[in-house]
């Protein structure tokens, strides 16, 4: 995922209350770290409609799923 794409996501998300901004900033930091870690191990990472999808060269060997409330 390119920096420009991540910045666009972050920009769209940052249109919230100042109370939420700190939590959102923490979430975006964690999201950026996760994306970087996944790309370092060779995963192709996509972010679409609030869902982060990472796919490696053998996508059927392992499937991880997580969500936040």
17-63 pLDDT, tens digit per residue, is 565 777 878 888 888 898 899 999 888 888 877 788 888 888 788 77
**Max intra-chain CA distance, the chain:** 42
Residue 61: both structure tokens together: 């060997």
The whole-number pLDDT of residue 8 equals: 62
Question: According to the model, what pLDDT value does residue 67 have?
Answer: 67
Q: Where are the domains of the chain?
A: 3-55
The reported pTM is 0.58
Q: Which two tokens stand for residue 57?
A: 């060269």
Nearest of 55, 39, 41, 49 to residue 1 by alpha carbon: 39
- Best CA proximity match to 47, nearest among 13, 5, 19, 4: 5
Distance CA 4, CA 10 (A): 10
């Amino acid at each position: 995922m390119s920096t420009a794409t991540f910045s666009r996501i972050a920009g769209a998300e940052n249109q919230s209350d100042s109370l939420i901004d700190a939590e959102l900033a923490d979430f975006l930091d964690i999201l950026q770290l996760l994306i970087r870690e996944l790309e370092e191990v060779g995963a192709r990472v996509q972010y679409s409609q609030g869902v982060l999808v990472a796919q490696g060269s053998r996508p059927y060997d392992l499937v991880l799923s997580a969500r936040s409330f």
